[in-house]
Structure 1
């Protein structure tokens, strides 16, 4: 074989090699640009805290989200899937740390509050009170339960709780921690100025009140009764303002104070009533 023929063959091999290398680099670069390498596997999601691949693309506030889905806020039990590419950033104000809040997370931003339903336990280990979370809303559902706005999944034609796996895929912690101060719901028997549509689900405090019909042996709930709850009412208010206590709460057997108290909690809407749900027993402070 002549020198010229050999040189031509080697040159052809080098050219093809360069093309192959270029195509390989292009594929790697394209994969990196698409962000696919950042998307965790199903197993990684179930063994992690949230989905680190979620980014802030189209942020909405809680108030904006409610306005976008006004029909689902207005009709009892209404629900709709979120199809837009939207993200919500808010602070955790309530979780299941004491067992009084069940499979729910309360969120709040500067514009309002909303409940997130998650069919899982020990959520407080993932999302501590004060944690800021970023939620990818696309494909989740929004609606209301007894008129309380909620994000979750479709359940029997209404809003329900999403699975743990779905939750893991749709949220991440931002790494920030915020302090949300409770807003005064009422003080010493005064009428509340809270609005059922705008304020439902906020962290609130009712001050200088006494519980109605309690004695020295009254407990917050009945830990021996199994599933269920006990409602306590406040002197000076009708039965549209109550305090909800789960039989599974770790303070269920504690004695209810008979004197004046300040009660802080997630103030949920229950149709046209207000329902205080304390996070821990420390949310009830006796007034001297």
Structure 2
């Protein structure tokens, strides 16, 4: 067997091994540590548990690395300068001072976040990880784009995370910054009857709309005026909707990633008055 033949066999074997990796498996991630000198040391839940009021800087005494899959996309403009990643224990926002992150971090991409020298912060009760801020009025800041890859290491692309299917009554803060799906919901009659849009795209104003289920339970849908679908009229029908759940203090909010995640094309239902 000549050298060229042996090289071709070796390359073919490597391709088979790479194709066999399941990038959607939290417990058995691709063996990227053979490519990058980094590995997961802690879960996202353990990272978030370090937070104290005023923010928490992550020291350099020992490596603190979390691993997750990207569930966000800034392609349609409703997410700004951030990634949201999720593992089997929870989700967290990673603040990065760059636009067009979807070009590099596609949904389903596995990333490592090296938290050392970064700072946990909160806004309205929702946690994020970012740089140590210059302005002390903020608990953390955006990681500068030129040093982004020192902290956020792309491992490999894979299948997108499947949303957790919940109902409005079962929403809780343990799902904060996680991808969820709600079925059998619709926008309020008063909103669709007035031809309201998701937000004010003309004046670039963020606005809230309200989803409701057949029992009258409600959930805020918050949309940026910079979203590509800001001036899209609210769908008339009922159905399912997918997005990232966040909290502003005690108020649950849903952030839509893509207008394609809004599937409200069934007939409207009659809301049962339980009062």
So what's the TM-score if we normalise by structure 1? 0.72
Aligned 8 A contact 1:91 1:131 in 2? yes
* TM-superposed deviation, 1:203: 0.2
Where does residue 134 of structure 1 map in the other structure? 112
Alignment match of 1:260 (pick from 238, 245, 262): 238
* TM-superposed deviation, 1:58: 5.3
> 1:214 aligned to 2:191?
yes
Where does residue 244 of structure 1 map in the other structure? 222
Unaligned runs of 5+ in 1: 1-51
Cα RMSD (Å) of the superposition? 1.9
> 1:171 aligned to 2:152?
yes
Aligned 8 A contact 1:204 1:265 in 2? yes
Separation in structure 1 between the aligned mates of residue 39 and residue 102 of structure 2, nearest angstrom: 27
How do residues 12-27 of structure 1 correspond to structure 2 at under 5 angstroms? none
* TM-superposed deviation, 1:262: 1.2
The number of aligned residues is: 223
Alignment match of 2:42 (pick from 60, 63, 67): 60
> 1:232 aligned to 2:212?
no
Separation in structure 2 between the aligned mates of residue 102 and residue 191 of structure 1, nearest angstrom: 28
* TM-superposed deviation, 1:286: 1.8
Where does residue 164 of structure 2 map in the other structure? 183
Cα–Cα, structure 1 residues 129 and 57, in superposed 2: closer, same or farther, change >3 Å? Answer: closer
Aligned 8 A contact 2:106 2:157 in 1? no
* TM-superposed deviation, 1:264: 0.4
Separation in structure 2 between the aligned mates of residue 58 and residue 168 of structure 1, nearest angstrom: 16
How do residues 141-152 of structure 1 correspond to structure 2 at under 5 angstroms? 141-152=119-130
Unaligned runs of 5+ in 2: 1-33, 267-275
Cα–Cα, structure 1 residues 248 and 136, in superposed 2: closer, same or farther, change >3 Å? Answer: same
**Counterpart of 1:98 in 2: which secondary structure?**
coil
Runs of 4+ in 1 over 3 A off after TM superposition: none
Aligned 8 A contact 1:58 1:85 in 2? no
So what's the TM-score if we normalise by structure 2? 0.76
